[in-house]
């Protein structure tokens, strides 16, 4: 992988994360989206696919590894939000019979909304960590980056605005 390819993929992954966060915020705001548009698992979103895929070529960098924790925290928190929005009603049978479904739904939505600022803060931490990695790569001499990334690992990189795709060249 060449340095410009790494930077391009990093920008694409960063953009995918921003889109993911916007869709998560939209879901909480009540905008109808398919649940699949906001993957819960940190390995299923486009950013995670880059991080645990082609991005692994940068795994020798501390700045790269610093991205993993906030990314996982983000998805763990989103899992809580997702359960409030789409989870099963876990109230007792009596509460289901005599309680208001509308009240329960409103309380679940309010809980999801209360978690949203924390999700945004973790997202900002993740984006700051990505910026630090990006700046480190930009400052790195090309020959040092080539050694670091293992030059050519048999991948031709096709970076598209819709996501990252890898194609083996062997």
pLDDT value for 153: 43
- Tell me the pTM: 0.77
pLDDT of residue 50 exceeding 60, the answer is yes
pLDDT value for 109: 84
- pLDDT digits over 7-49, tens only? 999 999 999 999 999 999 998 898 888 877 788 889 999 999 9
Count CB neighbours of 129 within 10 A.
19
For the chain, the average pLDDT equals 81
User: Are residues 27 and 33 in contact, defined by beta-carbon separation less than 8 angstroms?
Assistant: yes
More confident residue, 160 or 11: 11
Percent of the chain with pLDDT over 90: 52
- pLDDT digits over 83-124, tens only? 888 876 554 444 544 555 667 677 788 898 999 999 999 999
pLDDT value for 149: 66
pLDDT value for 62: 95
More confident residue, 154 or 67: 67
pLDDT value for 1: 79
User: Are residues 61 and 148 in contact, defined by beta-carbon separation less than 8 angstroms?
Assistant: yes
Cα(28)–Cα(144) distance, integer angstroms = 44
3-state SS of the chain is CCHHHHHHHHHHHHHHHHHHHHHHHHHHCCCCCCHHHCCCCCCCCHHHHHHCCHHHHHCCCHHHHCCHHHHHHHHHHHHHHHHHHHCCCCCCHHHHHHCCHHHHHHHHHHHHHHHHHHHHHHHHHHHHHHHHHHHHHHHCCHHHHHHHCCCCCCEEEEEECCEEEEEECC
pLDDT value for 34: 80
List CB contacts of 3: < 8 A, sequence separation 6 or more: 137, 140, 142, 145, 146, 149
Count CB neighbours of 57 within 10 A.
19
Domain that holds residue 150: 3-168
pLDDT value for 89: 57
Mean pLDDT along residues 76-85:
91
Mean pLDDT along residues 71-94:
79
Cα(158)–Cα(59) distance, integer angstroms = 20
Overall domain count for the chain: 1
């Amino acid at each position: 992988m060449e340095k410009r390819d790494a930077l391009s993929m990093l920008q694409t992954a960063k953009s995918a994360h921003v889109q993911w966060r916007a869709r998560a915020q939209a879901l909480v705001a009540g905008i109808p989206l398919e649940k699949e548009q906001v993957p819960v698992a940190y390995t299923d979103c486009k950013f995670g696919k880059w991080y645990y895929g082609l991005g692994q070529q940068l795994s020798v960098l501390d700045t790269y590894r610093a991205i993993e924790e906030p990314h996982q925290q983000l998805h763990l928190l989103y899992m809580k939000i997702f359960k409030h929005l789409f989870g099963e009603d876990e109230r007792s049978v009596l509460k289901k019979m005599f309680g208001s479904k509308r009240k329960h739904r409103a309380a679940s939505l309010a809980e999801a909304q209360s978690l949203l600022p924390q999700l945004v803060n973790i997202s900002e931490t993740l984006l700051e960590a990505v910026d630090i990695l990006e700046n480190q790569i930009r400052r790195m001499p090309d020959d040092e980056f080539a050694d670091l990334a293992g030059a050519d690992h048999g991948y031709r990189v096709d970076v598209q605005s819709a996501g990252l795709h890898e194609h083996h060249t062997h």
